[in-house]
Amino acid sequence: MTTTAHKHSSAALPSGGAGRPPGPGLTERLSTVKRKDALTGYAFTAPTITGFLVFVLGPLLAAFYLSLTKYNILTAPRFVGLDNYIRMFRDERLATTYGNTVLYVGAAVVLINGFALVFAVLINQRLPRALTYIFRSAYFFPYLVALVYVSIIWQALFQKDTGILNYYVAGLGGEKIDWLNSPEFSKVSVIIVDTWRNVGFSMLIFVAALQEVPKDMVEAARMDGANEWQVFRRIIIPMISQATFFNITITIIGAFQIYESIIVLTRGGPGDASRSVVMYIAEVAFNKFDMGYASAIAVTLFLIIMLVTMVQFRLRKSWVNNE
Amino acid sequence: MKRSLGVAVATMAASALLALTACSGPQAANAPAADGPYKAPAKDITATISVSNWGDPSDKAVYDSVAARFKEKYPNVTVNNNFTPITTWTEYVNKLVTQAAAGQAPDVINIATEGVQLGLDNELFASMDGFLKNDPEAKTLQDKIDPKLLDGFRKDGSTYLMPNTFNTMVIYYNTKMFKEAGIARPSDDWTWDDFLEIAKKLTKGSGADKVYGFALPYYSFGITPWLYSNGTSMMSDDLKASQLTDPKFQETIAWVRDLVTKHGVSPQPKGSDPYQLFPAGKAAMTGAGHFVTGGFKKAGFSDYDILPWPKNSTKATVFGAGAFAISKTSKNPELSWEFIKMLTDQQTQKKWADAGSAVPSTKTAASSKEFLASPEHASEFYNSLSYAKPVAAPGAYNVLDPAFMRAMDEIMSGQDIAAALKKANQDVEAALK
């Protein structure tokens, strides 16, 4: 990512050589070229920018506005000031769903990226080509399958009395676990399925990064007597830190919006024990038709994700290796 | 990532879109012929009407055949049949309300009892009174339908919908398993205690060979017969007050929970599908409407028969009917009416009966040889309507249904019944305001 950005900037600014003042005529000519370049650039980015304005910024501003109103879709929005925001502090269901969401985010960051790294390292071993492809596809597969279909299989695994997991749990003498409908284990089930589903994507990113690690550097280290762990810790980890950063950012943003995995498994139950904040937003918006309040919650979620992402980009300097 | 484009953005986008379109909301329909003789639209009229449909895929064939028949009568009319496979009523109603708010409601709306009140409250439907009064064909149509079905579709003396099919909840039992266990078919007046005793007898085995006495239908409509047969309901009779904290209600819910947690005659319902356990011989009984028969037939399962729901204080069960309404925003109410007549007439009724997803609304069709062919006591499907009560669906059904099931999940996980239902009751009361 940064390497390409770097290339672009150096290509766009050919006059950037330090200490070499450009001649008088040269500046003018270059700036026409630059202007043309800029125009082409804008033309190329226009579709994205239009899309961003229409589908992201527009709705975002609308949500900000609606969060200050009482709006049930059928009658015109009525301005109520900060009422919706004040209401949030008394909403126990919101507190529960936010709590669950934070747990899901924490679990996603650790488990998805942890497993993804392990799988990526395993796949990156010297294996026959065909085998590498098979493993890579196998791990990536869950990401491609519509969760709604897969849910039938997971439910068959998790079901308390007829499920396959509990068949073995009981067979080993354990107490049957209510994976789908106990306040604690419903969350665990969601985390398992969410990890299973998303580990492949992060793994692919890690695999790509691992293949970029210079072989000579690793060999040089080995030559100097470094063992496998030292090579991994001192060379591989720093060399793939950009991929790690990308993966962590993506999993955090994704996990804050976790929805499908819960819907198909527990529908948020029992009660709100496994419900995420996005599910709660959907319920308030489309079941209770309380668009104003739903927008207010959506705005807080937006701000939280933005804040977390900003903090990450701040911290990035301290651990991400830029070239 | 798929979910990073998730619901938060979708909510924002949708609410923004709706904010823009809400002003162009429902407009007054061309008033359907209120007085004077009804004249059907001319044969050569050119128009497009859209229909919003739900149901299972076997219903689609019925709709297609009606659309073909309609094309013969009105060659220049295009019928856009929008078929939505639904998972919950709440979702379907929500979709219609959202469409109506955006001014995109279909001309003909197919809906069930669960969504009718919400539709009426939101003025989705046009009154059919003019047609019913002045169209001579309307009389023959109405006469053959059980008045109980029509009653649910009136408001302040006006009729808004024409029913085509209905479902009552009955008990399905595996005839082979009953025979093997030496259990005779119980009487039609059997009680909860009889039911439990039989369920206990049929529960046996362990591990992979475990067989349950009863697979619990775990959704609002499926739990309701227990409530009705114990003389209680989620709502008061006028649908104005929530009764989830009623002691009788709690007693009923405790009974349902105990089937799973205390007596162990039913598997934990979360994540298991009774309509797979039953035909697979993993459960000897289940509760369902007529809607499961099509699937059983397709799976080649025929060792079953039906029984009335057992009673505790009252013999009762629940019914929900499917019906068609003309949208208030329709620009072609007459054509819509003609289409609805065709969807509910005798010729189509027979097709509904054959499709096997619901009971046809006229006794004539429900008494046909094909309909009564199987199971043995198939006549109970129509007969049960005589003691059935409509599903309690207030305008706030879209809050009641999820709130109730949320409480059920908590109760099934071992939490306190009174506390869980109290929370749900508060939710419903807030929505009823």
- From the list B9, B301, B375, B365, the residue with the least C-alpha distance to B166 is B365
Residue B378 has pLDDT above 50, yes or no: yes
Please, is A64 exposed, middle or buried when counting C-beta atoms within 10 Å of its C-beta (0-12, 13-18, 19+)?
A: middle
Query: Shortest CB distance from B267 goes to which of A60, A162, A269?
Result: A162
A33 in B contact zone (CB under 8 Å): no
- b vs e for A8-28, b when ≥16 Cβ sit within 10 Å of the residue's Cβ? eeeeeeeeeeeeeeeeeeeee
Which range, B56-70, B217-231, B353-367, is most confident?
Answer: B217-231
The pLDDT value recorded for residue B184 is 93
Residue B252 has pLDDT above 70, yes or no: yes
- From the list A256, A313, A295, A286, the residue with the least C-alpha distance to A97 is A256
Q: Phi, psi (5° rounding) for residue B53?
A: -120, 155
The pLDDT value recorded for residue A218 is 87
pLDDT band at B12 (very low <50, low <70, confident <90, very high): very low
B272 in A contact zone (CB under 8 Å): yes
- Cα–Cα distance between B9 and A318 in angstroms, integer? 32
Taking residues A216-232, report their average pLDDT. 87
- CA B344 and chain centroid, separation: 17
Q: The dihedral of CA A219, A225, A229, A234: what is its sign?
A: negative
Residue B13 has pLDDT above 80, yes or no: no
For A132-172, write each residue's pLDDT tens digit: 888 888 888 888 888 777 878 888 888 888 888 888 888 88
Contacts of A181 in chain B (CB under 8 A): 268, 270-271, 409, 412-413
Residue A280 has pLDDT above 50, yes or no: yes
Taking residues B71-97, report their average pLDDT. 79
The pLDDT value recorded for residue B4 is 39
Contact B256, B224 (CB under 8 A): no
Query: Shortest CB distance from B413 goes to which of A62, A182, A294?
Result: A182
Size of interface A-B (CB pairs under 8 A): 170
The pLDDT value recorded for residue A257 is 86
Amino acid at B8: A
pLDDT band at A27 (very low <50, low <70, confident <90, very high): low
The pLDDT value recorded for residue A99 is 94
- From the list A242, A265, A292, the residue with the least C-alpha distance to A185 is A265
- CA B165 and chain centroid, separation: 9
Helix (H, G, I), strand (E, B) or coil at A17: coil
Taking residues B369-391, report their average pLDDT. 88
- Cα–Cα distance between B430 and B433 in angstroms, integer? 6
pLDDT band at B20 (very low <50, low <70, confident <90, very high): very low
Residue A28 has pLDDT above 60, yes or no: no
Taking residues A222-228, report their average pLDDT. 86
Please, is A210 exposed, middle or buried when counting C-beta atoms within 10 Å of its C-beta (0-12, 13-18, 19+)?
A: middle
- Please tell me which residue of chain B has the smallest CA distance to A170: B207
pTM for this predicted structure: 0.81
pLDDT band at A36 (very low <50, low <70, confident <90, very high): confident
Contact B321, B112 (CB under 8 A): yes
- Please tell me which residue of chain B has the smallest CA distance to A199: B1
User: Which one of B1, B4, B11 would you mutate to disrupt binding with A, by most A Cβ within 10 Å of its Cβ?
Assistant: B11
| Domain boundary assignment for chain B | 2-167+319-390, 170-316+393-432
Q: Find tokens 């590498």 and name the residue.
A: A132
Contact A254, A108 (CB under 8 A): yes
Contact B218, B283 (CB under 8 A): no
B9 in A contact zone (CB under 8 Å): yes
Contacts of B100 in chain A (CB under 8 A): 74
Helix (H, G, I), strand (E, B) or coil at A213: coil
* Three-state secondary structure of B241-283: CECCCCHHHHHHHHHHHHHHHCCCCCCCCCCCCHHHHCCCCCE
Residue B30 has pLDDT above 90, yes or no: no
The fold for domain B2-167+319-390 equals D-Maltodextrin-Binding Protein; domain 2 (3.40.190)
User: Which one of B2, B9, B15, B204 would you mutate to disrupt binding with A, by most A Cβ within 10 Å of its Cβ?
Assistant: B15
User: Which one of A161, A194, A197, A260 would you mutate to disrupt binding with B, by most B Cβ within 10 Å of its Cβ?
Assistant: A161
Percent of the residues in chain A that have a pLDDT greater than 70, as a whole number: 90
Helix (H, G, I), strand (E, B) or coil at A82: coil
* Three-state secondary structure of chain B: CHHHHCHHHHHHHHHHHHHHHHHHCCCCCCCCCCCCCCCCCCCCCCEEEEEEEECCHHHHHHHHHHHHHHHHHCCCEEEEEEEECCCCHHHHHHHHHHHHHCCCCCCEEEEEHHHHHHHHHCCCECCCHHHHHHCHHHHHHHHCECHHHHHCCEECCEECEEEEEEEECEEEEEHHHHHHCCCCCCCCCCEHHHHHHHHHHHCECCHHHCEEEEECCCCHHHHHHHHHCCCCCCECCCCCCECCCCHHHHHHHHHHHHHHHCCCCCCCCCCCCHHHHCCCCCEEEEEECHHHHHHHHHCCCCCEEEECCCECCCCCEEEEEEEEEEECCCCCHHHHHHHHHHHHCHHHHHHHHHHCCCEECEHHHHCCHHHHCCCCCCHHHHHHHHHEEECCCCCCHHHHHHHHHHHHHHHHCCCCHHHHHHHHHHHHHHHHC
Distances, alpha carbon B363 to alpha carbons A37, A178, A291, B147, in Å: 77, 45, 45, 11
Q: The dihedral of CA A86, A88, A91, A96: what is its sign?
A: negative
For A67-116, write each residue's pLDDT tens digit: 998 887 777 888 988 889 999 998 889 999 999 999 999 999 999 999 99
Query: Given this structure, which CATH class describes domain B170-316+393-432?
Result: alpha beta
- Cα–Cα distance between B256 and B237 in angstroms, integer? 23
Identify any residues that bridge with A142 across adjacent strands, giving them in sequence order: none
Contact B3, A257 (CB under 8 A): yes
The pLDDT value recorded for residue A6 is 42
Contacts of B395 (CB under 8 A, 6+ apart): B117, B118, B120, B121, B122, B239, B432
- The answer to whether the Cβ–Cβ distance between A73 and B18 falls below 8 Å is yes
- DSSP structural state of residue A69: E
Cis peptide leading into residue A270 (ω within 30°) = yes
A66 in B contact zone (CB under 8 Å): yes
ipTM of the complex: 0.73
Contacts of A163 in chain B (CB under 8 A): 271
Contacts of B19 in chain A (CB under 8 A): 62, 65-66, 71, 77
- The answer to whether the Cβ–Cβ distance between A298 and B8 falls below 8 Å is yes
The pLDDT value recorded for residue B17 is 40
